[in-house]
Amino acid sequence: MKQLFLVRHAKSSWDNSSLPDFARPLNERGLKDAPKVGKYLYQKGVKPDVLISSPANRAHTTATLIAHELHYPIEKITTNFKLYAFSYDVSDVLPVITGLPDTCNSVMLFGHNPTFTELANYFTHRHFPDENPTCSVVALEFNTPHWQLASPQNARLMWHVFPKML
C-alpha cells in the first residue's frame, strides 16, 4: 500500500502586484491555516516519508509550516519544478508520482490548482466537482507496492480536509 497526500498551498497574498507569481507569499490567513492543517494531520497520525513541494514561495512555505507541525525535518523537504503547474491536464505531474521510489510508502506533495484538484479527480473518478480550497489535503491510498503502478484503478480516497472544516 502507498499513501499520497495532495496539499494545495495555503491562501496567498496578492498585495504586491510587482512580485512575480513564483514569489508570492502566504497572506495572514494562509499563515494561520497551514499550521492548523498540520496539527490536524499530526493528530490523525500522518507521518509522510517524503515531502515534495512546488518551488513557488507560497507552496514551499505551506510545506514548511505543515512539516513543522508534523515534526518532519524542514531541511529534508525537496522541491520539484513539475509541481509548479496550473493545468487541467495532469500528464506532466503524474510522472512525479509514478517515479517515486518504492522505499517511500507515504508521500506528501504541495502544489497548485487547478492541477491538484484535477489530480484528485483523476485518482477518484471525479469525486471533486468544485475546486479544492486553499490548504486542502486529499488523502489517497493505492493498493500496490509500486508507485509506478499507482492509477485510478487501485486508488481509494481515504479522506479530504480543508481549514474551514477544522
Residues 88, 112 contacting (CB under 8 angstroms):
no
pTM beyond 0.95, yes or no:
yes
Model pLDDT for residues 25-58, shown as the tens digit of each residue: 999 999 999 999 999 999 999 999 999 999 999 9
Residue-wise pLDDT for 62-111, tens only, equals 999 999 999 999 999 999 999 999 999 999 999 999 999 999 999 999 99
Domains of the chain in sequence order: 2-13+53-157 (3.40.50.1240)
SS3 content of the chain, % helix, strand, coil (to 5): 40, 20, 40
pLDDT category at 113 given cuts 50, 70, 90 is: very high
| Whether 92 contacts 82, CB under 8 Å | yes
